[in-house]
Amino acid sequence: MTPDPWLAAHDYLRPLADLATQVDRAIAELEILEARIPDWDDYAADFRAGVPLLASADARVDLEPGGRMAAALVERLASGTSPEWLVAETRALATELRGEPHAARRIADFLLGDQAAAPQSPGLLRYVAWTAMARFLRPVVSAFGDWRDDEKWLRRFCPTCGSPPAMAQLVGVDPGRRRLLSCGCCGTRWQFKRTGCPFCEADTQRLASVQIEGEPGLRIDWCESCKGYLKTYDGEGNERLLLSDWSSLHLDVIASDRGLERAATSLYAFAPDSARP
Ligand SMILES: [Zn+2]
Ligand SMILES: [Zn+2]
Q: What DSSP element (H or E) covers 199?
A: none
Query: What is the rounded CA–CA span in Å between residue 175 and residue 158?
Result: 25
Range in 157-171, 174-188, 189-203 the model is least confident about: 189-203
DSSP 32: P
227 C-alpha vs ligand 1 centroid, how far in Å?
23
Q: Nearest bound ligand to CA 265? A: 1
For 19-38, the pLDDT digits (tens) are 888 899 999 999 999 999 99
98 C-alpha vs ligand 1 centroid, how far in Å?
27
Q: Nearest bound ligand to CA 161? A: 1
Do the Cβ atoms of 153 and 159 come closer than 8 Å? yes
Q: Nearest bound ligand to CA 261? A: 2
Query: What is the DSSP pairing of strand 228-233 with strand 167-171?
Result: parallel
For 86-133, the pLDDT digits (tens) are 888 899 999 999 999 999 999 999 999 998 888 888 888 999 999 999
145 C-alpha vs ligand 1 centroid, how far in Å?
12
Query: What is the rounded CA–CA span in Å between residue 129 and residue 63?
Result: 11
pLDDT at 154 over 90: yes
Residue 181, C-beta contacts closer than 8 angstroms, at least 6 positions apart: 156, 158, 165, 167, 168, 189, 190, 191, 192, 198, 230
Query: What is the DSSP pairing of strand 261-262 with strand 228-233?
Result: parallel
Q: How far is CA 269 from CA 14, 170, 249, in A?
A: 16, 25, 11
Q: Nearest bound ligand to CA 181? A: 1
Q: What DSSP element (H or E) covers 221?
A: strand 218-223
Query: What is the rounded CA–CA span in Å between residue 247 and residue 120?
Result: 27
Q: Nearest bound ligand to CA 204? A: 2
| pLDDT band with cut points at 50, 70 and 90 for residue 40 | very high
Residue 235: how many other CB atoms lie within 10 Å: 14
For 144-153, the pLDDT digits (tens) are 999 999 999 9
185 C-alpha vs ligand 2 centroid, how far in Å?
21
Q: What pLDDT sits at residue 200?
A: 87
Report the predicted TM-score, pTM, of the whole model to 2 decimal places: 0.92
